[in-house]
Amino acid sequence: MNFNELSALRPDLAFIAHWVRADTEVLDLGCGDGVMLDYLQTDKACHGYGVEIDDDKIPECIARGVSVIQQDMEAGLAMFADSAFDTVLCLSALQMMKNVEGVLTDIARVGREAIVSFPNFAYWPHRLALLRGRMPVSKSLPYEWYDTPNLRCATIKDFEELANQVGLDVLECVALHDGRPVHFLPNWRGNLAVFRLKKTASA
């Protein structure tokens, strides 16, 4: 898969991919169908693994040539050594975890850097829905309250505080709207928050 194909399929992933250095070790937590690792392997000569729990996604990863481990990431990453990966990806998956703090702590242990994305609950249509007395439903949060896989709702400021608590420094934070960076009032106008993080010197 080349960059243009990735950009057409998932513009958010195309933006995030530029933060991953070529020829590095990558772990993709909640890798889905493996499209991100497929691109990183073929276009950026990266190496690594995906972790995915969904039975339906595993064959798609294998078909793409992605090395995938079927496991719940909340079960821990004990199979990987400290700082085993240059970059750990957790893209639009963290909000589905019960123990967000535990997953982030594991990410900080096994990765030198991390890239995390999640739906921004402070996006203005979400705020407007709450003012109307309804739970938000949008492109980034497409489920009704009673059938959503999203267990945790966070804003950009919320996540930054938690990342610091578990030993991760924020290198960059970008709010995306349909895959494009939002520069003016990002916490209001971006529907997806993307953080590039680095293990603190003392961690």
The 10s digit of each residue's pLDDT in 19-53 is 999 999 999 999 999 999 999 999 999 999 999 99
Instruction: Please check whether residue 13 is in contact with residue 2, taking contact to mean a CB–CB distance below 8 angstroms.
Output: no
What mean pLDDT do residues 98-108 have? 92
Q: What is the pLDDT of residue 120?
A: 92
Per-residue tokens: 21: 């250095």
For 32, residues 6+ apart whose C-beta sits below 8 A from its C-beta are: 52, 54, 57
At residue 149 the predicted structure's pLDDT band, cuts being 50, 70 and 90, is: confident
What mean pLDDT do residues 144-154 have? 85
What SS3 class is residue 107?
A: helix
Tell me what percent of the residues of the chain surpass a pLDDT of 90.
67
pLDDT of 169 > 60? The answer is: yes
What mean pLDDT do residues 71-96 have? 92
Angstrom distance (rounded) from CA 85 to CA 18 = 17
At residue 203 the predicted structure's pLDDT band, cuts being 50, 70 and 90, is: low
Average pLDDT, the chain: 91
